[in-house]
């Protein structure tokens, strides 16, 4: 395997864990200027695909027609974690849309973050489909079906016209042959698409620099949805999670997915990065991304420090005593 070492974790001087990964980065000319540990095999987007899965709803007039706020429309792109503000936005959104909670195919779930989950259970509430991590995406998919006159019942079948539309948009934006895109099933029940990391990076570059998108309707949808991502950044994940921390920087478009996939792009610099931690862990993301930003001499130090605070380099035990360190070993320059 070609995978490169990204991160080492030490406890009392002994290496306890090591994370390997692969990364691709492209510049404004869509040329790859970073390639580390790649085998150039297709990688599942997982939830990093949500901006592209939301394009169909942002191309319609449903958001304006039903008075959906930016706070609510951000759910179409979110991996929401069940905080009170997520629950309130989800309840408000489904109250406006002509869909029912039973229409969602995602599993019934408790809020994802520990504190709201505990409070929710203590109040005696049952699991709900509406509070699944991907429920907002599914509401957007259902709304897009209604707006386009598509069948709602089978909205997540791979051959459904909406899913074929999404696949076509991913191919177009990533500049990858639509017939080569691999399709699987995501944890939430929706199709999930796999393409090489370089093409993921190209697609995210166009999220950050929509002037690269020739199709006017897609370009306008991307401008709308990426604006919402930055404006309503805590809806996309929640406080103390990397997507929200990165999106607080108006220069960055970012979204992570399950099994260690992360994509982010820098508007001003015209640079875009796609990476995968090979053991599927999300914990290395802050350390690895902070190291990448430092290596390219990213000028917004506040953003770097905010990310570093999510996963300090010092390892502490449950009592707060320092017992080790985390060392980023990824080299991109």
Give pLDDT, residue 49.
98
pLDDT digits (tens, 9 = 90+) for 27-77: 999 999 999 999 999 999 999 999 999 999 999 999 999 999 999 999 999
Give pLDDT, residue 2.
77
pLDDT at 259 over 70: yes
Alpha helices in the chain (DSSP H): 50-53, 55-58, 62-65, 70-73, 84-96, 114-122, 135-148, 161-174, 197-208, 216-231, 233-236, 242-247, 285-295, 301-310
- Helix/strand/coil percent split, the chain, to 5: 45, 20, 35
Q: Chain-wide mean pLDDT for the chain?
A: 96
pLDDT confidence tier of residue 241, bands split at 50, 70 and 90:
very high
Q: Which residues contact 108 (CB under 8 A, 6 or more apart)?
A: 126, 127, 128, 129, 131, 132
pLDDT digits (tens, 9 = 90+) for 79-115: 999 999 999 999 999 999 999 999 999 999 999 999 9
265 class by beta-carbon count within 10 Å (0-12 exposed, 13-18 middle, 19+ buried)? buried
Q: Which residues contact 49 (CB under 8 A, 6 or more apart)?
A: 170, 192, 193, 257
């Amino acid at each position: 395997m070609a995978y490169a070492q990204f991160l080492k974790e030490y406890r009392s001087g002994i290496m306890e864990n090591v994370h390997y990964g692969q990364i691709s980065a492209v510049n404004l000319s869509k040329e790859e200027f970073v390639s580390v540990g790649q085998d150039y095999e297709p990688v599942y987007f997982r939830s990093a695909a949500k901006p592209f899965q939301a394009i169909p709803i942002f191309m319609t007039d449903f958001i304006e027609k039903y008075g959906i706020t930016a706070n609510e429309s951000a759910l179409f792109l979110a991996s929401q974690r069940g905080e009170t503000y997520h629950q309130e936005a989800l309840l408000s959104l489904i109250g406006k849309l002509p869909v029912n909670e039973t229409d969602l195919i995602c599993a019934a779930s408790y809020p994802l973050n520990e504190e709201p989950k505990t409070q929710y259970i203590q109040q005696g509430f049952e699991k709900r489909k509406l509070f699944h991590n991907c429920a907002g995406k599914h509401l957007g998919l259902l709304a897009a079906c209604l707006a386009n006159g598509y069948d709602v019942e089978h909205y997540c079948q791979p051959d459904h016209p909406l899913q074929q539309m999404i696949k076509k948009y991913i191919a177009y934006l990533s500049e990858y042959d639509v017939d080569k895109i691999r399709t699987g099933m995501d944890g939430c029940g929706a199709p999930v698409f796999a393409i090489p990391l370089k093409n993921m990076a190209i697609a995210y570059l166009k999220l950050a620099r929509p002037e690269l998108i020739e199709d006017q309707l897609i370009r306008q949808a991307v401008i709308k949805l990426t604006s919402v991502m930055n404006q309503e950044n805590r809806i996309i994940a929640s406080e103390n999670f990397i997507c929200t921390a990165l999106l607080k920087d108006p220069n960055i478009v970012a979204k992570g997915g399950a099994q260690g996939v992360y994509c982010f792009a820098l508007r001003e610099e015209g640079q875009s990065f796609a990476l995968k931690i090979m053991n599927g862990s999300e914990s290395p993301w802050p350390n690895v991304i902070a190291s990448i930003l430092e290596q390219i001499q990213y000028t917004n130090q506040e953003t770097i420090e905010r990310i570093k605070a999510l996963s300090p380099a010092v390892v502490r035990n449950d009592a707060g005593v320092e017992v080790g360190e985390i060392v980023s070993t990824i080299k991109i320059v």
